[in-house]
């Protein structure tokens, strides 16, 4: 028998704040976290804006010795995991450590560390490469460091599936618990790609917004004047538990996770197929896994990147899956405020969806001022909205045609 899985903790680190409450309240206020890039001199770049994490002092969370061993994406994962575990009131002990796992995705990994160490090599030679270079930069060390910090000895893994990584990590963790291989999973995504090569690479693809004079208005999903995504950074980590485990320790339950789907486009290295077939398949697979009819879904936290083709194609896919019900759905893209966190996006947005269910309020899509005629659904423009919400879907689509989707349910059932 499949075990039911619930969500008991959320840790969010974003351009809106270093703790979950700051991010959540910023979203409800329709606040943009986008501004001029300060991490490096971006004057020569076509895109000079980003959604940066602000005012984070590593030494507030780790000692000097450990700080040298970590890229920023690892630090973001640690901060978000600490918040998530604390919010879940979860204690890791010798008795339960083998039944608690960590699964954190990252699309890019330690880009900043790679750039710094490559510069050291070019300018000073191989002897100046740090012995911590590899463990500071490889993608699974977010999972590794969190596991070491907490003392968990259960399942330990990581995803590196571009912008689907965080969602895949949570979906895979759901299945790990569902089949009985763990009782608790600490899962999500972390990213820190606001670096010269990170921004330069996406800019060279013409994927980034160049609305440099109005950074707070640059991320505008589903708007006719959207011109690309705004790169963001941070982490989103959730605590998933078997329902009986959560009940046994009298944990607060924020939501239940009931469905997970995966699909591949097999189409293009960066672009989705025009017919949205990969997105259609992953959403249908998620609904089928949950045993939920499309008409039961009330809200979708869209991938909604603010790139011209992606928003249009995602809208087309939603219409194909939900038919007439698509026009009754509330849909929003919180990337309009947080920027696009790449591999961390799915983790951040899963946490947001849990709060949507728990608080029964939907964050808006900001900057939706001139609707695209091809994007004609209800994107909750401008202002947060109270609503009766039972089922929430969150989708993530990544380069290489990798797609992930999860479905959350209000708990207890109303």
The residues assigned a catalytic role are 163, 303, 340
Distances (CA, A) of 299 to 83, 275, 361, 391, 408: 26, 22, 10, 7, 10
Strand-strand pairing, 156-157 and 100-105: parallel
Q: How far is CA 253 from CA 10, 91, 359, 381, 405, in A?
A: 11, 16, 12, 29, 21
The C-alpha angle with vertex 338 and arms to 138 and 10, in degrees rounded to 5, equals: 70
**E-assigned strand segments in 243-390:** 255-264, 299-301, 330-332, 361-362, 385-386
State how far the Cα of 33 lies from the Cα of 234, in Å rounded to an integer.
12
Strand partners, 264: 402
Buried b (16+ CB within 10 A) or exposed e, 165-182: bbbbbbbbbbebbbeeeb
Q: CB–CB of 207/307 below 8 Å? A: yes
Q: How far apart are the first and last CA of the chain?
A: 24
Q: Helix/strand/coil (H, E, C) string of 188-254?
A: EEEECCCCHHHHHHHHHCCCECCCCCCHHHCCCCCECCCCCECEECEEEEEEEEEHHHHHHCCCCCC
Q: SS3 for 181?
A: coil
What's the token pair of residue 88?
Answer: 């879940």
């Amino acid at each position: 028998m499949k075990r039911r899985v619930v969500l008991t903790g959320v840790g969010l680190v974003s351009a809106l704040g270093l703790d979950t409450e700051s991010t959540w309240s910023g979203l409800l206020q329709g606040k943009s976290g986008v501004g001029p890039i300060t991490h490096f001199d971006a004057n020569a770049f076509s895109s000079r804006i980003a959604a940066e994490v602000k005012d984070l002092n590593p030494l507030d969370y780790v000692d000097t010795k450990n700080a040298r061993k970590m890229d920023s994406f690892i630090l973001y994962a640690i901060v978000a995991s600490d918040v998530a575990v604390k919010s879940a009131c979860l204690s890791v002990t010798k008795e339960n450590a083998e039944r608690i796992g960590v699964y954190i995705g990252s699309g890019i990994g330690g880009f900043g560390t790679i750039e710094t160490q490559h510069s050291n090599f070019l300018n000073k030679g191989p002897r100046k490469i740090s012995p911590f270079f590899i463990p500071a930069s490889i993608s699974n060390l977010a999972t590794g460091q969190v596991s070491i910090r907490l003392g968990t000895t259960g399942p330990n893994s990581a995803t590196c599936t571009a912008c689907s990584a965080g969602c895949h990590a949570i979906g895979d963790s759901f299945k790990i618990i569902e089949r009985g291989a763990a009782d608790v999973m600490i899962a999500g995504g972390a990213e820190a790609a606001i670096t010269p090569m990170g921004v330069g690479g996406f800019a060279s693809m013409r994927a980034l917004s160049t609305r440099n004079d109005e950074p707070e208005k640059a991320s505008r999903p589903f708007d006719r004047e959207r011109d690309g995504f705004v790169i963001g950074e941070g982490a989103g980590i959730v605590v998933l538990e078997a329902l009986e485990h959560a009940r046994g320790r009298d944990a607060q339950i924020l939501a239940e996770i009931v469905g997970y789907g995966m699909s591949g486009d097999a189409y293009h290295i960066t672009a989705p197929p025009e017919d949205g077939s990969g997105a259609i398949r992953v959403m249908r697979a998620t609904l089928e896994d949950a045993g939920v009819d499309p008409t039961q879904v009330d809200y979708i936290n869209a991938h909604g990147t603010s790139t011209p083709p992606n928003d249009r194609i995602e809208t087309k896919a939603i219409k194909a899956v939900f038919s007439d019900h698509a026009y009754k759905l509330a849909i929003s893209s919180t990337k309009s405020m947080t920027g696009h966190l790449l591999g961390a996006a799915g983790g951040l947005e899963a946490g947001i969806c849990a709060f949507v269910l728990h608080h029964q309020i939907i964050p808006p899509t900001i900057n939706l001022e001139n609707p695209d005629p091809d994007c004609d659904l209800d994107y909750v423009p401008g202002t947060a909205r109270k609503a009766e919400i039972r089922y929430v879907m969150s989708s993530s689509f990544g380069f290489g045609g990798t797609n992930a989707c999860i479905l959350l349910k209000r708990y207890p059932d109303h």
